Amino acid sequence: MLYPLWIDSPRLQEQLEALAAISEAPPPVVTRVLFSEADLRGRCFVRDLCRETGLVIREDAIGNLFARWPGKDPHLAPIATGSHIDAIPNAGRYDGVVGVLGALEAVRALKRHGFEPRRTIELIVFTAEEPTRFGIGCLGSRLLSGALTPEKAAALRDPEGQTLEHWRAKAGYSGPHLNSVRLASDGYAGFIELHIEQGPLLERENVPIGVVESIAAPSTLRVRLAGSGGHAGTVLMPERRDALLAGAEVALAVEQAALASGSADTVATTGVFRIEPGAVNSIPSRVWLEIDLRDTQLTTRDAALRRIESAVPEICQRRGVEFQLERLNVDAPASCDRALVDTVLAVCRELSLPAKKMTSRAYHDSLFMARICPTTMIFIPCRGGVSHRPDEYSSPDQIRDGVLVLAQTLAKLAA
């Protein structure tokens, strides 16, 4: 059964606009790195909206925010939705945010209709889905699901050597211990994340809704190289141990590992390449690389991972450069819950909105929520499949469709 719901698209657009303005960089660029001033202001903005919507708020020790609409039957496990509001450097305004502000609009639409949930509905705003500060994505959902232990989280360091404890304290979250973040595995009846596709398929096929069946397997490596610095004019070429050149060869080996996998689904990127000292007349002595490698299949991802990991010592030995190689995360893919997928598909059918089952090549907090409860995602198209860029765009109508599907699905599951 469908509820006669109305989505307030202009109000949602205003809120998307307002949150996009909370950024470390001028418009249209959105940058909100974990626990930066912009991230903290973004959190305040969302917290205020949750309060205005009459939700009951809790924040945990890593800053995950839980906003509850209590159901009439407190014995039923809640149904959850949500996403993230942090944004990588030079990002757009929709990644993650559509699943937070869109979910709030879904709740408001249900409230406007007079819907009274039997099962509690909870909005979760996850901390640091993006890996920018510590090199590891989904910090909040990893801790919450037990995929990352508090001990490992406490050992994380940013490029300046600062710890998570340092940043947590700075952000005002240092009261309770990280041990308290983990949730029970029967805590939620389900989790449904609304998100832009971040790929081109829905737009290309003119399908308004994607329903996610599986999420690809991500991994991240950090490579630190130490060569020998010196004067760019006086150290002759045979004497050099240039860390940048070793790093450049590593980056090429990363590309080769993906190309050689034999599968178009293997993708690898060296997205961080820091050089010290970074002066034109100085030989680079230190390099810091971060490498992102993913695949829909674990076996091909792991084969490419082994290729990269064996290329690094070979390159460094040949160039007389010391190296430290660290696996920041090596995750399995997630399968979504078939019953939840079917529920979302049924809602789309009732709404006469064409829908397509898909695999998510991007990772999401859903990858980790799937470890503790039945999970799926609702995708909407984005222009040209563009994401992680300031020109990321989904139209108000595309967003409205996604919010409507989410609202109807939540209503079905909470009624």
Residue 284 contact, options ligand GLV, Mn ion, none, Cβ 5-8 Å cut-off depending on partner type: none
Binding status of residue 121 toward ligand GLV by CB under 6 A = no
How many residues line the site for ligand GLV (CB under 6 A)?
4
CB 389, min distance to Mn ion, A = 11
The reply to whether 288 sits near ligand GLV by the rule CB under 6 A is: no
Q: How far is the CB of 327 from ligand GLV (least distance, A)?
A: 17
Select from ligand GLV, Mn ion, none the partner in contact with residue 337, using the beta carbon and a kind-dependent cut-off of 5 to 8 Å: none
Q: Is the dihedral of CA 9, 14, 15, 21 positive or negative?
A: positive
- Are 223 and 250 in contact, with CB atoms under 8 Å apart? yes
Minimal distance, residue 309 CB to ligand GLV, in Å:
21
User: What's the gap between Cα 304 and its chain centre?
Assistant: 22
Residue 362 makes contact with ligand GLV by CB under 6 A: yes
* 86 near Mn ion, rule: CB under 5 A: no
Any long-range contacts for 72-76 (C-beta under 8 Å, 24+ apart)? 72/116, 72/117, 72/118, 73/118, 73/119, 74/120, 76/118, 76/119, 76/120, 76/189
- Give the binding range for Mn ion (CB under 5 A) out of 8-16, 88-96, 144-152, 161-169: 88-96
398 to 29, 32, 195, 281: CA distances (angstroms): 21, 24, 11, 51
Q: What is the 3-state secondary structure (H, E, C) of 347-393?
A: HHHHCCCCEEEEEECCCCCHHHHCCCCCEEEEEECCHHHCCCCCCCC
State the amino acid at position 247 in one-letter form.
Answer: G
Check if the beta carbon of residue 42 is closer than 8 Å to that of residue 85: yes
The nearer residue to Mn ion, 79 or 100, going by C-beta atoms, is 100
- Among the listed ranges 4-12, 93-101, 159-167, 199-207, the one in contact with Mn ion (CB under 5 A) is 93-101
Stretches 24-32, 96-104, 139-147, 373-381: which one binds Mn ion (CB under 5 A)? Answer: 96-104
CB of 225 to Mn ion, least distance (A): 27
Nearer to Mn ion, 243 or 369 (CB): 369
Binding residue for ligand GLV, selected from 66, 115, 126, 363, defined by CB under 6 A: 363
Residue 130 touches ligand GLV, criterion: CB under 6 A: yes
Ranked by CB distance to Mn ion, the top (closest) residue is 96
Under the binding rule (CB under 5 A), the answer on residue 96 touching Mn ion is yes
Which of Mn ion, ligand GLV, none sits in contact with 363, Cβ below 5 to 8 A by type?
ligand GLV
Q: Please, how many CA atoms are within 13 Å of residue 169, restricted to the half-sphere of its CB?
A: 6
265 DSSP assignment = T
Q: Give the CB-nearest residue to ligand GLV.
A: 362
DSSP 165-219: HHHHHHHT--SS-GGGG---TTS-SEEEEEEE--SSHHHHHT-SEEEEEEE-EEE
Q: Minimum distance between the CB of residue 403 and ligand GLV, rounded to whole angstroms?
A: 21
**What is the per-residue binding string for Mn ion in 335-354, x denoting contact by CB under 5 A?**
--------------------
- Taking CB under 5 A as the binding criterion, the range among 87-95, 160-168, 223-231, 297-305 that sits at the site for Mn ion is 87-95
DSSP string, 67-132: EEE--S-TTSPPEEEEEE--EEEEE-S-TTHHHHHHHHHHHHHHHHHT---SS-EEEEEES--S-T
The yes or no reply on residue 95 touching Mn ion (CB under 5 A) is yes
Q: Which residues bind ligand GLV (CB under 6 A)?
A: 130, 137, 362-363
**Residues engaged in binding Mn ion (CB under 5 A):** 95-96
